[in-house]
Structure 1
Amino acid sequence: MKQIVLMRHGKSSWDYEVSDKDRPLKERGIHDAHLVAEKLSSKGFSIDFAYSSPANRALHTSMIFLRGIGFDLTRFQVTNALYDFSGDSVAAFIESLPDTLDTVMIFGHNYAFTTLANTWGDTYIENLPTAGLVQIEFDVNGWSKISKGRTKQIVFPKHLRNK
């Protein structure tokens, strides 16, 4: 059994003249990453390893979330393969993960994540919002064998606000 958890970076700011990779999170993006972490932490959420795109907004989201769930950051890595918007590079990266890992979390970008959530999951998502998370389970023992799986959980920050 393999599980992939896709989390889109939090809401980013366009207020600064910086490259796309250097765009920071807005205050709402920071808040939403905390909200989603709190929700999953309360459910006993557990992952084997986490990876992030090197983009500032994805990396910052990953640090907020992973610290929020008390994750051991020695099991975390940044990889350029996740700075992808189509999903092709992300899919190839996931399909090449070591089979010793069963549950992996990836922090990255749209449209890649919406596309992969709909390709692999069994619940249609029109758009994975910023700081949105989807967990998909596959009944296989190797990452190279993943195809259609089961959407195990979807968490959108807007459903957690003011609750």
Structure 2
Amino acid sequence: MKQLILMRHGKSSWDYDVSDKDRPLQERGINDAHLVAKTFKLHAPEIDFAFSSPANRALHTSMIFTRTLNFDFNNFRVNEQLYDFSGGSVQHFVEQLDNRFNTVAIFGHNYAFTSLANTWGDQYIENVPTAGLVHITFGVDDWSKIAKGTTKQMVFPKHLK
């Protein structure tokens, strides 16, 4: 069985004159990422590997999440393919994952994550919000064969406040 945890970055700030990749998190984004990570930790599977988009807001969200779960940073990488908004690049990335990894967390962006959560999961999600997490399980042992799985858990900040 393969498990995928999709987490959208926290709320970002538009207050700085920086490139899209360099936009930081707002205080709300930081707080929401902590809240979601603490809630997810209560029922979290053991994560084999985690990957993040290189965008500052996604990377910061991933650091909050992985630290909260006491994750081993030797099993963490930044990957340019996750800086994707349509979902095609993220889908290709996931389908190419090493099959030694059974549970993978990825940190990235919308529209990609909402689209993929609906493509792969069995529950319709209108929009994965900032700092939203979707955990999907697949009844296969090969990442290249994932198709429709089961949406095991959704953790959205608005449900925790």
Q: State the TM bucket, normalised to the shorter chain.
A: over 0.9
SS of the counterpart of 1:115? helix
Q: Please state whether the residue corresponding to 1:30 is helix, strand or coil.
A: helix
Among all aligned residue pairs of Structure 1 and Structure 2, give the percentage whose two residues are the same amino acid: 70
Report the 3-state secondary structure (helix = DSSP H, G, I; strand = E; otherwise coil) of the residue aligned with 1:58: helix
Q: 1:69 Cα deviation (Å)?
A: 1.0
- 1:76 is matched with which residue? 76
| CA-CA distance at 1:44 after TM superposition | 4.3
Shift of 1:103: 0.4
Identify the residue that residue 131 of structure 1 maps to in structure 2.
131
- In the alignment, the residues of structure 2 paired with residue 89 and residue 136 of structure 1 have an alpha-carbon distance, to the nearest angstrom, of 18
Where 1:64 maps in the other structure, the secondary structure is helix
User: Which runs of structure 1 show a deviation greater than 2 angstroms over 4 or more consecutive aligned residues?
Assistant: 42-46
Unaligned runs of 5+ in 1: none
Number of residue-to-residue matches in the alignment: 161
- Alignment of structure 1 residues 10-159 onto 2, 5 Å: 10-159=10-159
Alignment partners' CA distance in 2, 1:159 and 1:40: 13
TM-score (norm 1): 0.97
Question: C-alpha deviations, 1:116-137, integer Å up to 9, x for none?
Answer: 0000000000000000000111
TM-score after normalising by structure 2: 0.98
Matched residue type, 1:66: T
Distance 2:53 2:148 in 1: 24
User: Helix, strand or coil: the match of 2:6?
Assistant: strand
Alignment partners' CA distance in 2, 1:136 and 1:72: 22
Task: Measure, in 2, the Cα distance between the counterparts of 1:147 and 1:62.
Answer: 25
Moved more, 102-111 or 41-50: 41-50
Structure 2 spans left out of the alignment, 5+ residues: none
Aligned AA (1:117) = A
- CA RMSD in angstroms comes to 0.7
